[in-house]
Amino acid sequence: MSQLTVGKDVLSYCTKCKLNLGHTIVAMKDVKHIAKVKCNTCNTIQSFKDASVSSKQNKTRTKKTMMKPSKIISVSDLWMEKMSSTKKKSTPYAMDQKFVQGDILDHVKFGPGIVEKVVDDKIEVIFRHEIKTLVHNKK
């Protein structure tokens, strides 16, 4: 910020013009604070009103109730999270086995996975790299 001194131009809110306008400093309170300014437009001498402050106050702040954008979680992140939060022992996967939500299974091809959803004879399983729908409880 440039040095403020008497005679310099600053932006201040003119109470007469009712606008943020260029003003000339006529008196300083101290090195950093302006006491009085003269409106370059209407020549009224008045106390300095920081334009940036008043413009902020003029804005009616609408509080944003927006939801934070949900973090994108990769399948492996999800898998890690699920696997680390369970204490269940894994069961080797077989079509005739019956699984419930939260079960850990071991698939010959996909490796260990966790049952996320059970829909009738199908289960949605989160594996290390992909989510698969498998059959279960097949008689």
Binding residues vs Zn ion (CB under 5 A)? 14, 16-17, 39, 41-42
- Which C-beta is closer to Zn ion: that of 20 or that of 91? 20
C-alpha distances (whole Å) from 39 to each of 50, 52, 56 are 13, 16, 21
- Using the minimum distance from each CB to Zn ion, give the nearer residue, 19 or 73: 19
How far apart are the C-alpha atoms of 58 and 132, rounded to whole Å? 55
Minimum distance from residue 70 beta carbon to Zn ion (Å): 50
Rounded least distance, CB 22 to Zn ion, Å: 10
Q: Please report how close the Cβ of residue 41 comes to Zn ion at its closest, in angstroms.
A: 4
State which residue, 49 or 82, has the beta carbon closest to Zn ion. 49
At residue 7, the 3 state secondary structure works out as: coil
User: How far is Cα 12 from Cα 51, in angstroms, rounded to an integer?
Assistant: 5
